[in-house]
Structure 1
């Protein structure tokens, strides 16, 4: 392989943004990536696939972490940090596959349209927690109009034995014990049933619409105040620290709930069935480490200084995200066992505790002393966690666009707010009962695309760009060697796990779509699946712009172009390290006086 400029390949040369800035402190990158671990949709409906695995199911995570999670983080971080550019321009490492960057752009944007739910729902409960009497408390539901008198809730659980012969179906005809917080959430819609599988009549929730607009207003305010990398990194540093602090406080308080200790015991108790279930499902969960879309770590690392130690940071981020997941898992288990503790042991009773981390938890908090304070604190924590994921995702998308399209750099403010407004309008669909019920199909589709992009990334970096060149660049950048055995594991073993993950995502996505509405299927095809066609299409376009035979066009389309460090001093040292054998040009600045093809 030789190294060329884009100009020599008949394309517009890449012009780096010298004013894009760096993180104020080196660990701002770590905090930003830890914030990606606050992606909480894993604890919603998709969490039912592996929520009961406990600590025994987490154990396989360490194997996956060593085999492909951390090494993949190193590759993502290497591409962003070495090129000082986002997830589109970083594919100068092999322009034929640059379409992966545009697929990532579409995927990250589509995920943000439904992810606003995880901010708007906590925002709704946080606002209502300011009322003197919580609407979902046992005192508050007495004032509800149109609530049938025979509605059995956790406030008036009957201790009488239910006659099993009264029900024909043991699973779906159980008598439901309602959680007031779930009833409160359903009241926001004309019709909403989280347990039916067929389409329901579409209707919007205007309270959810209002809080969703407030969420996007908050996001806009953050970008108005912290629009530059140093300021944004500082903002994330404090937001992540405060969120984790509030989570720890809530965790300690929940330890004193009835059934909390049995929940922790169930979480840490080894169980063979849970272990097998965890081993099969954790590869899917491991993809959550890369955020709501794909390429976020790549873009975040582009703001690192060139010598930042990406290997130690990748391990720290992986363990930090695992700690966050375990902490939220423990909170979920304690809440679930609280409901089990207060439910009579009748075979025909079923507690309505779906989405326990987000909705039923409000009724648990209502039972505490100083309920309003704890409710506001808990839902503020969930709100901040979701806003962190949203703003981080938008930040990486915008900077990737500005890196790739030079003409947009002078309109940063207009592009930023235009993009946020577009996301806000698209998110209105998920303020409906269909959006709340069926968004998990889009979530699983996004994980499917993530697994495919990771497979292609291994092909691009370790096979097309090459193992030796990758090791050489890592050595040049941080002074450490990426061991050959790790690369061989990534080349030959990790793809097997990713293929298994891809197959699992296909199966689960098929199940989700079989229960969702046709509109969600259409959205998935347009926003998630169709963009995959851009990868081969862009590759063919790049080949068309080159000259020579088919094989020569393909080879030139796969060569790294404009692949060098941003800083002139590092760039000159890189040229000296490479020598003249790998180069067909001098690494120089391309000025506006050049003629572009």
Structure 2
């Protein structure tokens, strides 16, 4: 049974401006759960810890980004149909689909939390300020906060001669305010039972309603690209404004000093942590760059764009890193008792920062600005990932193109329902596990992509395609690194990531174990499963099974030129083969 030929969507559209592709890829770096993971595994790394990121850019990040961009731009297809380059491995596109859905299910919390603080910033007295904190704090809860550290100091002094050793925990009001939405968090009880926060559920509903409105108004690529362009510019502008304002926080200068101080230890730690940051460049589902580049013009210079994107993304990481350091050192610089104490400031970018902002002049205004920036960053990530899913489905399944609005709203509605799990106490506490699991799958997909493009499809054909599309060669030294240096590095990282996943799952809930298996583990089986399906569907010789099908530019002008180039190349190969036979 012959496989159905690819039917390109000639009306899928392009970006309004070529730079919209750059801004959309900048938006991928706003996936801020990486900073939550870095606190658990790598803690904060200063500017010297970011040096390995520059090494990764040269060794594999930029070259692999060129490969992703080449697949999308050359074929004008999403991350599923682009594997016409080697149909036997099209299952990789479906794995990317499941990984993206996994992100969208839990990432709503990164929009709902900022929305919580934005809405409450309109109150005359902020609930997490020291004044507002006293109005709702339960006096029966034996906790100390940064608002009553002097009381903790008196207690500590009275017990200095005690023979027992203990540490006084000083809590941050904004963290306690978020926890107050869950009874189990307030009572410090074990998480045996599930508890849903209906307040948080309402915020989730508002987030998904906003996302549905965005796709209702900006579903076409040109309009969507324009929307994302302005949102990214606005988010980065607000980030810079907040950075300047945070310079005047107590302890901020010490934080910047520590961030800028060279350290060999930070360099070593950064070798592992920045590798994970580099993986974020390709989107949560790995294939986002493929789909985003498919809306480029055929001659768009993806080589220079890949460098611009990589430097832009590292700028965003550094800016958030410096903001994180300043906030962290603000809490480290608070007055503490002489006795052993520690300030409990979870999620410093999202939760603890609200208490720091309440200490500034015009606290309501700065709370609104800062959390609007975080809300916009989350909306950019979510909408971009949904956009790549939808376009990939429309490219692969022709029958869905006539029902775009129904499919869009159905996908958003399904994701909204599934995300409700993360309104529970278990979901809020352990969501990062899915992010760590997805990192393992992304590394595996990178490894397979190098195999598919540079070995199965062939480096010669790949370099010829790049030369035809861009009019400039893809350097042979880059091909050598991608074929022989990058794979061993990725294998080592796979081993380390397996260890990370096992450590995370050792204390998470059984539901998240199940979700990780269904959403992250089992989809990997789609790669061999689709391979067997393709072999059954298209019997033939081994060489025919690995051959690209319907791999051509969509635009007729370039398609004809490419056809002539391929035909000439095949005739040359046949001529060489016959010459060798005669000799």
User: The TM-score by the shorter chain falls in which range?
Assistant: over 0.9
Inter-partner Cα distance in structure 1 for 2:508 and 2:472:
49
Contact map agreement 2:184 2:191 (CA 8 A) in 1 = no
2:552 aligned with 1:560: no
Alignment match, 2:564: 576
The residue correspondences of 1:262-273 to structure 2 (distance < 5 A) are: 262-273=254-265
Inter-partner Cα distance in structure 2 for 1:349 and 1:334:
20
Inter-partner Cα distance in structure 2 for 1:392 and 1:209:
23
Alignment match, 2:195: 203
Alignment match, 1:190: 183
Larger deviation, residues 533-542 vs 273-282 = 273-282
Distance 1:111 1:130, change over 3 A: same
Contact map agreement 2:149 2:337 (CA 8 A) in 1 = no
The residue correspondences of 1:15-26 to structure 2 (distance < 5 A) are: 15-26=7-18
> What are the Cα deviations for residues 208-241 of structure 1, in whole angstroms up to 9, with x where unaligned?
1000110000000000000100000000000000
Structure 1 residue 366 displacement after superposition: 0.6
- SS of aligned partner of 1:24: coil
Alignment match, 2:576: none
Inter-partner Cα distance in structure 2 for 1:306 and 1:515:
49
- SS of aligned partner of 1:155: helix
Structure 1 residue 175 displacement after superposition: 1.5
> What are the Cα deviations for residues 83-112 of structure 1, in whole angstroms up to 9, with x where unaligned?
000000000000110000011111101111
Contact map agreement 1:284 1:505 (CA 8 A) in 2 = no
The residue correspondences of 1:370-389 to structure 2 (distance < 5 A) are: 370-389=362-381
The count of residues paired between Structure 1 and Structure 2 equals 568
Distance 1:92 1:193, change over 3 A: farther
Alignment match, 2:580: none
2:129 aligned with 1:134: no
- SS of aligned partner of 2:169: strand
- SS of aligned partner of 2:504: helix
Alignment match, 1:13: 5
2:96 aligned with 1:104: yes
- SS of aligned partner of 1:202: coil
Contact map agreement 2:38 2:273 (CA 8 A) in 1 = no
2:328 aligned with 1:348: no
Contact map agreement 1:408 1:415 (CA 8 A) in 2 = yes
The residue correspondences of 1:118-267 to structure 2 (distance < 5 A) are: 118-144=110-136, 146-148=138-140, 151-158=143-150, 159-160=153-154, 161=156, 163=159, 174-192=167-185, 199-267=191-259
Alignment match, 1:74: 66
Structure 1 residue 47 displacement after superposition: 3.2
Inter-partner Cα distance in structure 2 for 1:261 and 1:180:
24
Contact map agreement 1:284 1:501 (CA 8 A) in 2 = no
Structure 1 residue 45 displacement after superposition: 4.0
Structure 1 residue 438 displacement after superposition: 0.6
Inter-partner Cα distance in structure 2 for 1:581 and 1:364:
65
2:451 aligned with 1:427: no
Inter-partner Cα distance in structure 2 for 1:581 and 1:74:
24
Q: 2:447 aligns with which of 455, 475, 495?
A: 455
**Aligned CA-pair RMSD:** 1.8
2:474 aligned with 1:482: yes
Alignment match, 1:286: 278
More helix by proportion, 1 or 2? 2
Contact map agreement 2:110 2:375 (CA 8 A) in 1 = yes
Structure 1 residue 48 displacement after superposition: 2.9
- SS of aligned partner of 1:582: helix
- SS of aligned partner of 1:544: helix
- SS of aligned partner of 1:51: coil
Structure 2 stretches lacking a partner, 5+ long: 572-583
The residue correspondences of 1:502-513 to structure 2 (distance < 5 A) are: 502-513=494-505
Distance 1:193 1:525, change over 3 A: farther
2:351 aligned with 1:363: no
- SS of aligned partner of 2:457: helix
Q: 1:308 aligns with which of 288, 300, 305?
A: 300
Contact map agreement 1:176 1:350 (CA 8 A) in 2 = yes
- SS of aligned partner of 1:157: helix
The residue correspondences of 1:306-345 to structure 2 (distance < 5 A) are: 306-344=298-336
Inter-partner Cα distance in structure 1 for 2:564 and 2:474:
21
Contact map agreement 1:73 1:297 (CA 8 A) in 2 = yes
Q: So what's the TM-score if we normalise by structure 1?
A: 0.92
Alignment match, 1:595: none
Contact map agreement 2:46 2:259 (CA 8 A) in 1 = yes
Q: 2:55 aligns with which of 44, 59, 63?
A: 63
Alignment match, 1:589: none
2:528 aligned with 1:536: yes
Structure 1 residue 50 displacement after superposition: 2.1
Inter-partner Cα distance in structure 2 for 1:49 and 1:165:
36
Contact map agreement 1:108 1:397 (CA 8 A) in 2 = yes
Inter-partner Cα distance in structure 2 for 1:50 and 1:151:
28
Distance 1:177 1:311, change over 3 A: same
